[in-house]
Amino acid sequence: MFDLIVRGGTLPDGRVADIGIQGDRIVEVGQIAAEAGRVIEASGDLVSPPFVDPHFHMDAVLSYGLPRVNASGTLLEGIALWGELRAVATVEEMAARALRYCDWAVSMGLLAIRTHVDTTPDHLRGVEAMLEVKRRVAPYLDLQLVAFPQDGLYRSATGRQNVLRALDMGVEVVGGIPHFERTMEEGAESLRDLARIAAERGLMWDVHCDETDDPMSRHVETMAREVTRHGLGSRAAGSHLTSMHSMDNYYVSKLIPLIAESGMCAIPNPLINITLQGRHDSYPKRRGLTRVRELQAAGVTVGWGQDCVLDPWYSLGTADMLDVAFMGLHVAQMTHPDEMARCFRMVTQDNAAVMGLQEYGLTPGCIASLVVLDAGSPVEALRLRPDRLAVVSKGRVVAEKRRNDTRLVLPGRSDTVRRRHP
C-alpha cells in the first residue's frame, strides 16, 4: 500500500513506468500492482523531476514599475532603479512579493530556487525578508540564498562587512560582482577575497561574473584560478559570463579549458542576457549569451537560469523554466534533438547539480518531488511549454490543473484540438 502512485507516466529517458511514493520518498519505479491512498493517472504524459532555477533575484521580483519603468532597458538603469527601491521597500513588502512568486513557481513545478539577495544597504532588510520567506516555503520549496554585494564588495564602504553579516545571519552561498568594482584590479582582488571566505566557511560560491559586452572583462579567468586554488570545484558557479560572446576565439580556446579544469559550473540567463546585452550596438547586434555549447563540449556543467520576473531589469516572466530553456535553445542554436533534450536536462538535472541538491530525481530513495506535464517527451515539453497537470512536492500534491483541450466548431473536423504531436 502506497500513499501515492503516479501511474503510467513517460519518464524523461523514454521509459513508461509507475512511481510509488510513501511519505516524502519514492520507494518504487516500475510496473506497480499495489494499491495507493491516491492515484494520479499519467498515461501518455511526461513525468519529470521538478524544475530548478539556479539564478534569481527574489528581493526585487514583481516590482516592475517601481519606482518607475526602466526606460532605456539597460542593466545599469535597472541597477539604479533597484537602488532607489531597496532604500524604501519594507521587509513585509519584499516578503509578500516573494511569497506570491513562490506560489507561481509551485504552480509551474519549479520547486528549487537559488536567489541572490542584495547585501549593499546596511539595513539588510532584503536579507531579513528572504530568510523569512525561506522559512515559510521550506515544507514545499527549496530556497538557497546568496549574499550578493550588488554595488560591489569594495565599491561601497560596508560592502564586505555586510556580506559577512548576511552569512552570519544564515545566508548559505557567497556572491560577488567583480566587473562592478572600480577597477579591474579591485575586481580580481574581490574574487580572491570571496573565494577565501567561501573556502574557509565551507560554503558554495556563485558570482555575477563578466555581465558585460566588454571582451576585456576577463574576471572568469581569475575566478577559475581561485576555484582551482581552493578546491571549490562544482561548489562554485560563474553566472552570466556574457563577455565571452565578445571575446576572440583564440583567447576563449585558452579560457574554456581553465574553466573546465576548475570544475566550476556556468549559469547563463538567456531571457535576461539577450534583453540587457548589446544595448550599445547598432548592427550587427550581439546575442549577449555566453558560449553554452562550447562549455558543455569541454565538460562544464551549464544550467539555464531565469534571473528576473517583472522587476527593474525584465518586464515579463511567468516562473516557467521551460520558457527559459526555449529561449536558450533558440539563441544558442541548440536545435538537434539531442541538444533540445539537453536543454530540458539543463532546467532539471543539470540545475539540480549546480545547486548541489541531494536526493533529487526519479529513482527509489529520492525525495518524492515531481511534475506531470501535458506533453509526451522533453522535446515536446519545450515546444509546447505545456500545462502542469500535477505537481508533487515531498510526497504531497501541491498543485493540479485540468487538461485544457481547445473546443473547435469547424464543419467536418474534430470537436477538440491538442497541439501534442506523436
pLDDT digits (tens, 9 = 90+) for 5-58: 999 999 999 999 999 999 999 999 999 999 999 999 999 999 999 999 999 999
> Which pLDDT score, from 0 to 100, does residue 385 have?
98
- Mean pLDDT, rounded, of the chain: 97
Give the separation between CA 265 and CA 299, rounded to whole angstroms.
10
What is the model's pLDDT at position 50? 98
Q: How far apart are CA 110 and CA 2, in angstroms?
A: 25
Closest CA to 321 of 274, 378, 389: 378
Q: What is the pLDDT of residue 415?
A: 95
What are the pLDDT digits (tens) for 207-250? 999 999 999 999 999 999 999 999 999 999 999 999 999 999 99
Is residue 422's pLDDT more than 90?
Answer: no
Q: For the whole model, what pTM was predicted?
A: 0.98
pLDDT at 60 over 90: yes
**Residue 118 neighbours by CB under 8 Å, 6+ apart:** 59, 60, 82, 86, 126, 148, 149, 150
**By mean pLDDT, which of 81-85, 222-226, 364-368, 404-408 is the weakest?**
404-408
* pLDDT tens string 373-419: 999 999 999 999 999 999 999 999 999 999 989 999 999 999 999 99
Contact by Cβ (8 Å): 60, 308: yes
| Overall average pLDDT of the 144-171 stretch | 97
DSSP secondary structure, 390-410, as one string: EEEETTEEEEE----PEE---
- Give catalytic status of residue 181 as yes or no: no
Residue 194 banded pLDDT, cuts 50, 70, 90? very high
pLDDT at 312: 98
Q: How confident is the model at residue 93 (pLDDT cuts 50, 70, 90)?
A: very high
Contact 48, 108 (CB under 8 A): no
pLDDT one-digit tens code per residue, 114-143: 999 999 999 999 999 999 999 999 999 999
Q: Which of 77, 181, 211, 380 is catalytic?
A: 211
Mean per-residue pLDDT for 318-347?
A: 98
Q: What is the pLDDT of residue 319?
A: 98
Confidence bin at 198 (pLDDT 50/70/90):
very high
Give the model's pLDDT for residue 420: 93
